[in-house]
Structure 1
Amino acid sequence: MDQDHLPAKLAKRGSTIVVPLVVLAGIAAIGAGSFYTVNQNEVGAVTRFGQLVSAAPVSPGLHFKLPIADTAHTIRTSIERISVPEMRVKTIDNQFVSVDLSLTYRTADPFKALFQVGDMGSGSINDKLIPFVQSRTLDVFGQVNALEITDKKKQLESNILTAVQTPAIDLFGERIEDVQITNLHYDENFERNIQQTVQTRNQQLSAANLLKVRETEAQQAVATAKGQADSAAAIAEGQKRVAIAQAEADAQRVRLRADADAYEVQKRSEAEANAKTIVGNAEAAIIVAKVKATGSADAYAEILRADAAKNWNGSVPSIQMGAGANAAQPVMVLPPIGQKP
């Protein structure tokens, strides 16, 4: 009897075990569905039954949400780089060129990127961003000549960036930071023409550079000759100035020597005249003293005549002393009367 009831007992016991396990599993599922994680370089947002409930992008970390009702969405905000598939563009001179691009971008408006363009919209961001960039690239290349592409590569990249940057934020919430042309492919015939054109241009540049070198060499030769001429002229001018200075110095020395000699003669004459004056004055003073001593000029004259008579040797004196204009006059001796001279 007991054996007949054994399966029922086991079934009842099994049911008592399964129900708690199911409850625990449900609780665990609800608990796990109540949290979501936003990683670094990401922001998040929560929708409830398809309606956005986050007022602002949710920062990285662990966050709470209602289980089952809420759904968490995340999007990367770090700088990303994607390759734009090769496109065939047409230049203003009707040449076709295959272009490869590389885009560097980051999410500037997470809500627009998530819920208007990205996963919440139809398709991903790249599905809409890449065709938009390709369209603007066609417009930019349609304004240049094919021969200018290589020389204007940086300008073309800048023009493409200008054409897509602001609209990409408005339309997709993505800010394109940089656009690079990674590769260019020309048609085979056009590449040959380009090579020939480049070769011709290089030859022209080489000829122009050679001409500049020759012009520079000529200018240097002219400058050297002018420098040598200027140096020779400067040396000649210096020598002339030295000669003039030497001549002026010699003339100055001659003038100074002549002035010195003249001064010496003058001073010697003045000295001799002064000496004679002094001697004359002294002799006059002596005579005056002797006259005073004798008492009168006549007395002094008698003394002189007495001395002359005492010292006379019989010859006639050659001069006669006097006064005034006849102070000293020659004496003429006449022969006796009746005797011939």
Structure 2
Amino acid sequence: MILSSIFLIIVFIFIVYVLISSIRIIPQNMVGMVSILGKYKKQITPGIHFTIPVVTRVDRVDLAQVPLSLSEQSVISQDNAEVIISLSMNYHVTDPYKFTFENADSIKSMVQQSRAHLRGIIGTMDLNDVLNGTEKINAALSHELGSITDAYGVNVDRINIDTIQPTPEIQESMNKQINATREREAAIAKAEGEARSIELTTKAKNDALVTTAEAKAKGVRLAADAEAYRIQKANEALAAVGGNYLAAQNIDAFREVANGQSNTVVVPNTAIDALGNLTVANELLQQKVNK
């Protein structure tokens, strides 16, 4: 009796286990890959499903987008500079059958391909292009992986370079180069400033000399114009008074000579001829002779 009860309990537990093991629940955004006795049979969608217990295996495949961070990787640029690069990516499964049955580890294969292509891309670029070309590298990686990862049943939606860090030795050399460049630029700027200062000073002095010379030349021109104007007015005045005025002046001059103490008077012939026509002048000359 006791043995029968124990047997019934064991049978009941086995039946419960079989029933439970036959139930498969597939969550949302997943599919189930059903294999019976190791051979693929079908794909089941999200929900509750009943399968043959013990001989049936259901592999769940997540179809949602998955983020993945890759560990840091050392790569060499075209100019033999070593840099440390870390990558991150987002991918999702596009073919559950390839992902599950055609590759032992699709994710590992995808990561290896990403690292290999990254080494190839960096190897064709100089260090400066690597440090300033993350967008270019991302685009090149996405293009290369897009044609390869389909064989793994996945698609890389986005890949990013998180960090690009030169090795300490390379960083030290870069710092020295940057400092040298800054010092050279500072020296050039100082020399250009001094040259500009000399240029401005020289120009100011030249402008002052030119201004002074122009002022003196203007003064000379004004003085010459004033003298010419005076002479012109004098000539106009002489032309206006006529010959009688000049003759009267000559008579006054002869009068002073006649009244003088000198016994000899030297007069040009032309002046004597001109004055001889004047009665007053003739009388003055006669008086001078009689004395």
**1:91 CA drift (Å):** 0.8
**1:66 CA drift (Å):** 0.8
- Give, as a single letter, the amino acid of the residue that structure 2 aligns with 1:173: G
Name structure 1 gaps, 5 residues minimum. Answer: 1-12, 208-341
More relative contact order, 1 or 2 (CA 8 Å, 6+ apart): 2
> Do 1:33 and 1:67's aligned partners in 2 also have CA atoms closer than 8 Å?
yes
Tell me, yes or no, if structure 1 residue 23 matches structure 2 residue 23. no
- CA distance in 2: counterparts of 1:160 and 1:197, whole angstroms: 31
**1:126 CA drift (Å):** 2.7
Secondary structure of the equivalent of 1:85?
A: coil
Distance 1:60 1:198, change over 3 A: farther
- Give, as a single letter, the amino acid of the residue that structure 2 aligns with 1:85: S
- CA distance in 2: counterparts of 1:141 and 1:46, whole angstroms: 43
**1:179 CA drift (Å):** 0.8
> Do 1:147 and 1:194's aligned partners in 2 also have CA atoms closer than 8 Å?
no
- Give, as a single letter, the amino acid of the residue that structure 2 aligns with 1:128: S
Distance 1:155 1:128, change over 3 A: same
Tell me, yes or no, if structure 1 residue 186 matches structure 2 residue 172. no
- CA distance in 2: counterparts of 1:22 and 1:32, whole angstroms: 15
**1:125 CA drift (Å):** 2.9
Percent identity over the alignment? 17
**1:94 CA drift (Å):** 1.2
**1:196 CA drift (Å):** 4.8
- CA distance in 2: counterparts of 1:194 and 1:49, whole angstroms: 62
- Give, as a single letter, the amino acid of the residue that structure 2 aligns with 1:185: Q
- CA distance in 1: counterparts of 2:174 and 2:30, whole angstroms: 47
**1:63 CA drift (Å):** 1.0
Task: Report the equivalent of 2:206.
Answer: none
Secondary structure of the equivalent of 2:52?
A: coil
Which of the numbers 48, 54, 57 marks the counterpart of 1:71? 57
> Do 2:29 and 2:64's aligned partners in 1 also have CA atoms closer than 8 Å?
yes
Task: Report the equivalent of 2:142.
Answer: 161
Name structure 2 gaps, 5 residues minimum. Answer: 189-291
**1:192 CA drift (Å):** 2.7
Tell me, yes or no, if structure 1 residue 116 matches structure 2 residue 116. no
**1:34-49 counterparts in 2 under 5 A?**
34-49=22-37
- CA distance in 1: counterparts of 2:73 and 2:91, whole angstroms: 20
**1:1-341 counterparts in 2 under 5 A?**
13-54=1-42, 57-117=43-103, 121=104, 124-170=105-151, 172-197=152-177, 200=181
- CA distance in 1: counterparts of 2:178 and 2:140, whole angstroms: 24
Q: Which moved more, 1:142-151 or 1:187-196?
A: 187-196
- Give, as a single letter, the amino acid of the residue that structure 2 aligns with 1:183: T
- Give, as a single letter, the amino acid of the residue that structure 1 aligns with 2:158: D
> Do 2:34 and 2:56's aligned partners in 1 also have CA atoms closer than 8 Å?
yes
Secondary structure of the equivalent of 1:133?
A: helix
TM-score (norm 1): 0.51
> Do 1:41 and 1:60's aligned partners in 2 also have CA atoms closer than 8 Å?
yes
- Give, as a single letter, the amino acid of the residue that structure 2 aligns with 1:49: L
**1:43 CA drift (Å):** 1.1
- CA distance in 2: counterparts of 1:141 and 1:198, whole angstroms: 23
- Give, as a single letter, the amino acid of the residue that structure 2 aligns with 1:182: D
Distance 1:76 1:198, change over 3 A: farther
- CA distance in 2: counterparts of 1:45 and 1:103, whole angstroms: 26
- CA distance in 1: counterparts of 2:157 and 2:177, whole angstroms: 35
Task: Report the equivalent of 2:238.
Answer: none
Aligned length: 187
Let me know the Cα RMSD of the aligned residues. 2.3
- CA distance in 1: counterparts of 2:30 and 2:120, whole angstroms: 34
- Give, as a single letter, the amino acid of the residue that structure 2 aligns with 1:14: I
**1:195 CA drift (Å):** 3.6
- CA distance in 1: counterparts of 2:73 and 2:20, whole angstroms: 46
Secondary structure of the equivalent of 2:109?
A: helix
